[in-house]
């Protein structure tokens, strides 16, 4: 189990993966919007998306878990 | 006569507008969101009305809630500041229909200048030179490719409804064209609700120089000077100054004449800015017009002795240009540094609590701040949290003073672009007045 966290507070603008998707290291999985800027969040390791913890439009704080990967 | 104004904005510009209103004995009504309930503008206004949630759509972009606050506050006029609803023609029209004065130009002018394609057309018709460009009838590959080939690479793909540096991208060659087109269309649909785009010739290493104009209801249009805003990151300005040391007397005359002519032709009223790109040969090209107060307006105020917010209010009250007051605190040069809550090298936002926010008291330094020590900079709004303006008799003295002030500043709790501003002020290219819009990209 690996967690993809945000290092910044902001709104979730786009979730670019779905449960079951395979992601690669460095792949952009979520785009946040903070202070009128798009902030891409990338996977820090490869894996399969097990759970998406956020929805588009929701607000996240620094260190919140966005996506859980397995494998 | 305006006796009470609602300020439909937040941060430093709301604070700035309140200051002039106090001097003019005009009562102020602030509006605020959940995230801004302890903000400086809320504390300083005579009254404050809560709008709603922290997101702009729930608060500062919600015209109906703002009009409810105007009604509850029993105001005469609404000042829109900059950004947010300031260039929204529908909002301006609703404000007027409800019987309030909107401090800005007519709804039709806001509408026309808000659409970049319509604005280009209006300027072309007025005989003001625009950047060579082509409006696209559709975004089919063949149409876009043909337009770009006619103009010659590199080109800029721009959103008709774009602004604030969002919705524009450079394309070096045909290989990247369609990728950029689809990205600009997508972004423009998301941010501005319209996917309309056009293609412009890319002007190599230009300077961004704009002209401040003011116009009354009887057709007087004056130019109050230029501002050189060439130092930009992500197509957003960070350092602005006046006068521009690049412009020759003849170039300046040409710029002022074009701006006044543009204002007269579109029947502009109130205070506004005509932005130009100026190439190495001093050819000027109309870029866009901002039908509102500009972030960098203090640069003009500190070189002319004019209070532009007072002019906005007086012009909205129906006064004519010759009757407007000018102070005598004119200086030869002024320079403004914008302080952004962001990483100085990646430009990523840096929200957080301001544990320290200390700047030295210095002669010839003006601070326009929207925050104070202990305030929290939230992720909901623009990262620009304050401006430092230096003014004095020579460019060198002003530059040195601004540098000293920023070096003495003590800001803790968030990252800011202050180190980057210091590097810029120390850089020979900037010091020699040779900075073009490529400067920041080359600095990093």
Q: Which residues pair with B241 in a beta bridge?
A: B228, B335
Task: Give CA–CA dist B263/B285, Å, rounded.
Answer: 15
Task: Compute and round to an integer the Cα radius of gyration of chain B.
Answer: 21
Which of A8, A10, A36, A58 would you mutate first to test chain B, the one with the most B CBs within 10 A? A36
| Orientation angle between helical segments B107-114 and B89-97, nearest 10 degrees | 170
**Catalytic entry in B292, B326, B366, B395:** B292
What is the third-level CATH fold of B132-201? Dna Ligase; domain 1 (3.30.1490)
Q: How far, in Å, CA of B206 to CA of B296, rounded?
A: 19
Rounded mean pLDDT of B282-301? Answer: 96
- pLDDT interval class at B399 (50, 70, 90): very high
- Antiparallel, parallel or unpaired: β B77-79 and B4-7: parallel
Residue B329 — pLDDT band, cuts 50, 70, 90? low
Radius of gyration of chain A from its Cα atoms, rounded to whole angstroms: 11
Query: pLDDT at residue B104 above 90?
Result: yes
**CB B382 to CB A36 under 8 A?**
yes
Q: How far apart are CA A20 and CA B231, in angstroms?
A: 46
Where are the CATH 3.40.50.20 domain residues in chain B?
4-103
What would the CATH number be for the domain defined by B4-103?
A: 3.40.50.20
Q: Is the pLDDT of residue B328 over 70?
A: no
Strands, E assignment, B53-206:
77-79, 101-102, 133-135, 155-163, 166-171, 197-201
Can you give the residue ranges of every domain in chain A?
2-70
Q: What does the DSSP 8-state code read for residue B349?
A: B
Task: For residue B56, give the H/E element and its range.
Answer: none
Show residues of chain A in contact with B348, CB under 8 Å: 8, 37, 39
Percent of chain A with pLDDT over 90: 70
How large is the ipTM? Answer: 0.79
Q: Please, which pLDDT band fits residue B35 given cuts at 50, 70 and 90?
A: very high
Mean pLDDT within B47-75: 96
Does the structure show a pLDDT above 90 at A71? no
In this structure, of A27-36, B8-17, B146-155, B164-173, the range with the lowest mean pLDDT score is B164-173
pLDDT tens, B340-385? 999 998 888 999 999 999 999 999 999 999 999 999 999 999 999 9
Q: Which CATH architecture has domain A2-70?
A: Beta Barrel (2.40)
Q: Count residue pairs from A and B with Cβ separation < 8 A.
A: 34
For chain A, which residues lie within 8 Å of any Cβ of chain B, measuring from their own Cβ?
8-11, 34-37, 39
pLDDT at residue B179, as a whole number: 94
Of B55, B166, B341, Cβ closest to residue A35? B341
- Please state which of the ranges B202-206, B224-228, B299-303, B362-366 shows the lowest mean pLDDT: B202-206
Q: Which residues of B touch A9 (CB under 8 A)?
A: 351, 378-379
Buried b (16+ CB within 10 A) or exposed e, B184-201: bbebbeebbeebbbbbbb
CATH 3.30.470.20 boundaries in chain B: 207-443
Is residue A54 predicted with pLDDT exceeding 70?
Answer: yes
> Which segments of B225-289 does DSSP mark as H helices, in order?
249-265
What's the whole-number average pLDDT of chain B? 95
Residue A38 has pLDDT above 90, yes or no: no
Residue B444 pLDDT more than 80?
A: no
Q: CATH classification of B207-443, choosing from 3.90.730.10, 3.40.50.2300, 3.40.50.720, 3.30.470.20?
A: 3.30.470.20
pLDDT at B167: 84
Between helices B297-304 and B308-316, what is the axis angle to 10°?
100
Q: What is the pLDDT of residue B169?
A: 92
Which pLDDT score, from 0 to 100, does residue A24 have?
A: 95
Contact state of A8 with B348 under an 8 Å Cβ cutoff: yes
Does the annotation mark B16 as catalytic? no
Long-range contact pairs involving B405-409 (C-beta distance under 8 Å, separation at least 24): B405/B359, B405/B360, B405/B362, B405/B365, B406/B337, B408/B359, B408/B360, B409/B358, B409/B359, B409/B360
Q: Which long-range contacts (CB under 8 A, 24 or more apart) does B144-153 make?
A: B144/B177, B144/B178, B144/B181, B144/B199, B145/B174, B145/B177, B147/B199, B148/B174, B148/B177, B148/B199, B149/B174, B151/B199, B151/B200, B151/B201, B152/B201, B153/B202
Give the model's pLDDT for residue A27: 94
Residue A37: pLDDT band with limits 50, 70, 90? confident
CB contact at 8 A, B81 and B14:
yes
Copy the structure tokens of residue B263.
């204002």
A8/B351 touch (CB, cutoff 8 Å), yes or no: yes
Instruction: Read off the tokens for B43.
Output: 């504390």
Q: Which of A35, A38, A59, A60 to mutate to test the interface with B (most CBs of B within 10 A)?
A: A35
Task: Search chain A and give the residue with CA nearest B54.
Answer: A59
What DSSP string runs through A28-69? EEEEEEETTEEEEEE-SS-EEEEEE---TT-EE-TT-EEEEE
Strands B155-163 and B197-201 turn out to be antiparallel
Which pLDDT score, from 0 to 100, does residue B435 have? Answer: 95
- pLDDT (average), residues B243-264: 96
Residue-wise pLDDT for B128-165, tens only, equals 999 999 988 889 999 999 999 999 999 999 998 887 67
């Amino acid at each position: 189990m690996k967690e993809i966290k945000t290092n910044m507070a902001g709104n979730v603008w786009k979730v670019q993966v779905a449960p079951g998707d395979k992601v690669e290291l460095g792949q952009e999985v979520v785009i946040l919007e903070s202070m009128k800027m798009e902030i891409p969040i990338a996977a820090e390791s490869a894996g399969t998306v097990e759970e998406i913890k956020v929805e588009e439009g929701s607000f996240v704080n620094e260190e919140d878990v966005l996506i859980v990967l397995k494998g | 006569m305006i006796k009470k104004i609602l300020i439909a904005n937040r941060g430093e510009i709301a604070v700035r507008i309140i200051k002039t209103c106090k001097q003019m004995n005009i009562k102020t009504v602030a509006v605020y969101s959940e995230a801004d309930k302890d903000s400086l503008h809320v504390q300083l206004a005579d009254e404050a009305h809560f709008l709603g949630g922290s997101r702009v759509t729930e608060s500062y972009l919600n015209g109906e809630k703002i009009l409810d606050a105007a009604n509850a506050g029993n105001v005469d006029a609404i000042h829109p500041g900059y950004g947010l609803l300031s260039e929204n023609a529908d909002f301006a029209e609703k404000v007027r229909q409800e019987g309030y004065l909107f401090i800005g130009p007519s709804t039709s002018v806001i509408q026309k200048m808000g659409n970049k394609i319509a604005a280009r057309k209006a300027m072309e018709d007025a005989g003001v030179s625009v950047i060579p460009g082509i409006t696209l009838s559709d975004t089919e590959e063949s149409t876009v490719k043909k337009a770009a080939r006619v103009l010659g690479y590199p080109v800029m793909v721009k959103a008709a409804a774009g602004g604030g540096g969002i919705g524009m991208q450079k394309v070096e060659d045909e290989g990247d064209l369609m990728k950029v087109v689809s990205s600009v269309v997508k972004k423009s649909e998301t941010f501005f609700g319209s996917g309309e785009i056009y293609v412009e010739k890319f002007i190599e290493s230009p300077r961004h120089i704009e002209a401040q104009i003011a116009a009354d209801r009887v057709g007087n249009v004056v130019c109050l000077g230029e501002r050189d805003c060439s130092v930009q990151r992500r197509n957003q300005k960070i350092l602005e100054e006046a006068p521009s040391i690049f412009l020759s007397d003849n170039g300046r005359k040409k710029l002022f004449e074009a701006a006044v002519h543009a204002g007269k032709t579109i029947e502009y009223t109130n205070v506004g800015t005509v932005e130009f790109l100026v190439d190495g040969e001093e050819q000027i090209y109309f870029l866009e017009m901002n039908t509102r107060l500009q972030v960098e307006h203090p640069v003009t105020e500190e070189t002319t002795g004019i209070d532009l917010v007072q002019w906005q209010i007086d012009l909205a009250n129906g006064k004519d240009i010759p009757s407007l007051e000018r102070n005598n605190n004119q200086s030869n040069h002024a320079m403004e540094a914008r302080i952004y809550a962001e990483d100085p090298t990646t430009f990523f936002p840096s929200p957080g609590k301001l544990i320290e926010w200390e700047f030295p008291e210095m002669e010839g330094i003006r601070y326009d701040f929207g925050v104070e020590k202990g305030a929290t900079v939230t992720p909901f709004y623009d990262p620009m949290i304050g401006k430092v303006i230096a003014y004095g008799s020579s460019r060198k003295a002003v530059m040195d003073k601004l540098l000293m002030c920023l070096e003495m500043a003590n800001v803790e709790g968030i990252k800011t672009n202050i180190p980057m501003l210091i590097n810029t002020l120390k850089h020979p290219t900037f010091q020699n007045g040779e900075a073009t819009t490529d400067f920041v990209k080359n600095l990093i």
